[in-house]
Amino acid sequence: MEEKGSKYSTVHYQNYLGLGKILDAQHLRSAALEEEPAHEEMLFIIVHQAYELWFKQIIHELSSVLILFRREKVDERNIGTAIRRLNRVVEIQKLLVDQIRIMETMTPLDFLDFRNYLFPASGFQSFQFRMIENLLGLEDEQRLTYNGCPYFSVFQEGQQKVLKETVKEDSLFEAMENWLERTPFIEFGNFDFLKSYREAVDRMLEKETAAIQSSAYLTAQEKEMRLKMLGNTNTYFQSVLNKDHHLKLQKEKKIRLSYEANIAALFINLYREEPILHLPFQLLTCFVEMDQGLTSWRQRHAQMVLRMLGNKVGTGGSSGFEYLHATSQKHHIYKDLHNVSTLLIPRSELPVLPPELKRALGYYYNHHLHTS
């Protein structure tokens, strides 16, 4: 019981954590409908409740980062805070994947003891998970339909309204894109990053082409295959070297990130070792890892469903494994950041930055300004 009249009133552990409500929230349907309850139903409920608690924490972290980035000018001092919070999301995602191993201590036959009592409840009805997808930036048109219906159709009117409102505002993807578009240094004095990058790519391709063609160990067919794999400035490098080509890919929905943001992401990845770019690179890495974590969870979840149900239809009426596996392939949000790796060139080929730009990207201490 709390003491009144004190700012720091005492509170009991159980009351602070609301354990009365939490520990009384496991209601086995098999216990109400059968003489002997299904033992494994308790595990099933607790694992899914734990998921929802972690989903709540993820929403808490993502929402706080969005507040930092939904501003016309992002305070760069908040980048470190955002990285710490997004790294926490990444760690939670790892835990969510690991929880599947606990679920798999239940056998398929154990699951059948209570599965019939779950209809039509389904993980597809997790409002918080859909909120996470929306906050991260999964687009409605990118989603696989749920039994031919919009993803939000399984929710009550109030929840549908909230989900629709979240997509009207900037997601983390859009906030990240806007932030990247404001990246300085792409053009600095006489330094033109894209011009220097094109020249570096040409040099790299010439060297690698010559090495393949002069190889005494490769057959003519192998040389042809490797040259095709190597590509040239008219293949995947076009997405940054040719703005019209990039816009064409955007129109075809093959690229989502804007041209300016794509160039900035490439610049940050190439010059990540410059002091001022350390944190921006870590931030982009967080987005890649969150996307990867979500994909890993979807894939692992799909494999668990295949193990438990085989080709049976899910309790919510979906195709079960097939649907979950398909979402892991299609529901990538930050694929463009992954694809930056396609555009990277060796450190030895990096265009040399002018001294004044190196100074701008470093931690410069002016001795004359700090002497008495």
pLDDT tens-place string over residues 149-159: 888 888 999 99
Tens of pLDDT, residue by residue over 114-147, are: 998 888 778 888 999 999 999 999 998 888 876 6
Q: What integer is the mean pLDDT of 154-171?
A: 92
311: confidence class by pLDDT, cuts 50, 70, 90: confident
pLDDT for the residue numbered 329: 85
Two structure tokens written together for 187: 């053009």
pLDDT for the residue numbered 99: 95
Tens of pLDDT, residue by residue over 244-285, are: 999 999 999 999 999 999 999 999 999 999 999 999 999 999
Tens of pLDDT, residue by residue over 317-334, are: 555 788 888 888 889 999
Question: Which are the contacts of 94, defined by CB distance < 8 A and separation ≥ 6?
Answer: 293
pLDDT for the residue numbered 77: 80
Burial classification of residue 306, based on how many CB atoms lie within 10 Å of its CB (0-12 exposed, 13-18 middle, 19 or more buried): middle
5: confidence class by pLDDT, cuts 50, 70, 90: low
One-character DSSP codes across 207-268? HHHHHHHH-SSS-HHHHHHHHHHH--TTTTTHHHH-HHHHHHHHHTTS--S-HHHHHHHHHH
- More reliable by pLDDT, 6 or 92: 92
Tens of pLDDT, residue by residue over 98-107, are: 999 999 999 9
Q: Which residue has the tokens 């001294």?
A: 355
pTM of the full structure: 0.89
Least confident of 12-16, 351-355, 367-371: 367-371
**Residue 367 pLDDT > 60:** no
Instruction: Rank 40-44, 179-183, 226-230, 302-306 by mean pLDDT and report only the highest.
Output: 40-44
